[in-house]
Amino acid sequence: MDTRMVIFLACVSVTMFLNAGVLFFTYKAWSSAASKAMDRMSELEKSGQLRQALNTMQNSSAEAARISGIVKERMSGISKSLESMETTYTKALSASDAVFSMAFRAIHFTAATTQKVVTFPVKNVLLVTSVLQRVIGFIRRHENGVGATSRQNR
């Protein structure tokens, strides 16, 4: 049991020393990076390049804000004109839809009427000619005596 305890404590102590070493080297890396960054910033402040860069960025942001305001104003004007164009377009579509609907109704009515005018006489002529053919056939049979046999047998 004692050996197990000694092995366990040895593993824990090795792990603690490794963790402490990792933390120490991480701290050293971050501190050296931070000190280098601070040195660079102090050099930039002394040289005036940072001040110029900040002034340039400030002027650029002010110009961007001014331009975005102008664009916003123009877009609101365009928005109003687009709305009026949409209204006009909707009214024009409604009017043209009504006109086309009336025109198509007239075309349909004309086509139906023309069909009736053309087919009505043909249908009636066929009906009349078939009736006339039956009547003429009956008369001819009667004249030829074909239909008279039933009368002679009486």
Residues 66-106 have pLDDT tens digits of 999 888 888 887 878 888 888 999 999 999 999 999 999 99
Task: For residue 45, give every residue at least 6 positions away whose Cβ sits within 8 Å of its Cβ, in sequence order, or none.
Answer: 51
- Domain assignment present for 25: yes
Q: What is the pLDDT of residue 119?
A: 79
- Domain assignment present for 38: yes
- For 147, phi then psi, to 5°, come to -85, -10
Q: What is the pLDDT of residue 154?
A: 47
- Domain assignment present for 91: no
CB 148 within 8 A of CB 142: yes
- Domain assignment present for 42: yes
Residue 31, amino acid? S
- Domain assignment present for 15: yes
- Domain assignment present for 4: yes
User: Considering its fold, how many domains does the chain have in total?
Assistant: 1
CA quadruple 75, 81, 84, 90: dihedral sign: negative
Kindly report whether the global pTM for this prediction surpasses the value 0.75.
no
Q: Could you give the angle at which helices 49-144 and 2-47 cross, rounded to 10 degrees?
A: 100
Q: Which domain holds residue 25?
A: 1-47
- Domain assignment present for 21: yes
